[in-house]
Chains A and B, each alone.
Chain A
């Protein structure tokens, strides 16, 4: 093999090597990213059953502020959680969308301002949340990740359930 051919083979191998790196299947996890006030949050995709753009909320007396009433989702009556009230203790502005979340023993709608993205993110990009988180946010957030230059806080559905159940 000439020096030239050796060089070509070397280049091919190097290119192939680079390609191999790109083709490696990264373990990913699906997330539903949404905006609430000025912050970005997300639920794990496995916890989200549906995203509802337009909804009808009926106020019910005798409920705590974080439970603003009943949702009528195509004839199915569901509970609603105001995440903004839960996190900030403030009266929620009427959120624009509802994210229906559920696990084996818990099901509810969560009122959010806007769902920004439903995407797969590399598992390795998920990190522990900032230690500077405080209050209820700190209690509900399990992890965080960076998405398009913005910090997103991942909410733990089981932690949410434990906070809102009587």
Chain B
């Protein structure tokens, strides 16, 4: 698919400490309810997204399994899973230039504006991969 053909993107929404995030649903292979005893290979998503100092308090934890791509992170623990919905790319803004160096290294590549709410778009293939290993 060339970039010219992309007009919309299907996004999976979740939230963390009141911040809304969304990931391209095509990156997700499956989802499963979290078991009490986490395996070692499950990464807590707040560590990837820059919530330094946040005491992890996952109210409704869900494990998402990522499709094997250019990442070593295959299983992530997320919280506040909301929905999967399709959005026109015209509602997406790039990260402001001043903030891009801080956010792009965490895989955050854009902002979706939807019904007066902003969601940070995260690409799990571009999050700090070293921390996944």
Are B113 and A67 neighbours in the complex by a CB distance under 8 Å?
A: no
Interface presence of A72 (CB below 8 A): yes
Which listed residue, A62, A72, A107, touches B49 by the CB 8 Å rule? A62
Are A164 and B103 neighbours in the complex by a CB distance under 8 Å?
A: no
Are A166 and B102 neighbours in the complex by a CB distance under 8 Å?
A: yes
Interface residues, chain A, with chain B CB atoms under 8 Å away? 58-64, 67, 70, 72, 75-79, 81, 106-108, 164-166
Are B19 and A60 neighbours in the complex by a CB distance under 8 Å?
A: yes
How far apart are the CA atoms of A47 and B95 in the complex, in Å? 22
The tally of residues in B whose CB lies under 8 Å from a CB in A reads: 25
Which listed residue, B17, B51, B113, touches A77 by the CB 8 Å rule? B113
Interface presence of B32 (CB below 8 A): no
Interface residues, chain B, with chain A CB atoms under 8 Å away? 16-19, 49-52, 54, 93-99, 101-103, 106, 108, 111, 113, 118, 120
Q: Which A residue sits closest to B118, measured CB to CB?
A: A58
With a cutoff of 8 Å between Cβ atoms, the chain A residues found around residue B108 in the complex are: 60, 62
How far apart are the CA atoms of A77 and B76 in the complex, in Å? 28
Are A72 and B102 neighbours in the complex by a CB distance under 8 Å?
A: no
Are A164 and B113 neighbours in the complex by a CB distance under 8 Å?
A: no
Are A60 and B103 neighbours in the complex by a CB distance under 8 Å?
A: yes
Which listed residue, A61, A70, A165, A166, touches B51 by the CB 8 Å rule? A61
